Amino acid sequence: MNHSSHTEREQRFEQHKLEKKKNNQKIIGVCVGIFLLILSGFAYANLSPGKYDGFAKCLTEKGVIMYGEDWCPYTNAQKGMFGKSFKHITYVVKTDLKLRPTWEINGENYETVQSFQRLSALTGCKY
């Protein structure tokens, strides 16, 4: 084997290693980019304010309590109306309710799903 073909083979091998390293760096870069997109989407979804945060906070400040049970489709529908703003509602799981959800407002109970208009009228909170 002559010296020039051995040198060429070593150069091709080194070039192949360099290309492989560049490809691996590209793959890692793409993976990091995807991870950052997912992370930013998660942060936006969980840290951005909810549409009804002010309304929900006002209800809580007025002492309003929503009673229900997590298995109940009506309780879950009422929670869903608030979306991620529901985290600001004072919610208590209560098993001895006749109807769910039940809202306690100024010492009075209001059974079943309540519209925002009704909750606003009963509390003075704006939605």
Q: How many domains does the chain have?
A: 2
In this structure, the answer to whether residues 57 and 38 fall within a common structural domain is no
How does residue 62 score in pLDDT terms, banded at 50, 70 and 90? Answer: very high
Query: pLDDT tens for residues 74-108?
Result: 999 999 999 999 999 999 999 999 999 999 999 99
Query: pLDDT tens for residues 11-26?
Result: 888 888 888 888 889 9
In this structure, the answer to whether residues 33 and 73 fall within a common structural domain is no
Q: pTM for this one? A: 0.66
Residue 68 · residue 101 · CB < 8 Å: yes
- Segments forming the whole domain that contains residue 20: 1-48
- List Cβ neighbours of 114 (8 Å cut-off, separation of 6 or more): 78, 101, 103
CA separation, residue 124 to residues 14, 17, 47, 79, 81 (Å): 75, 71, 27, 20, 18
In this structure, the answer to whether residues 86 and 109 fall within a common structural domain is yes
In this structure, the answer to whether residues 83 and 112 fall within a common structural domain is yes
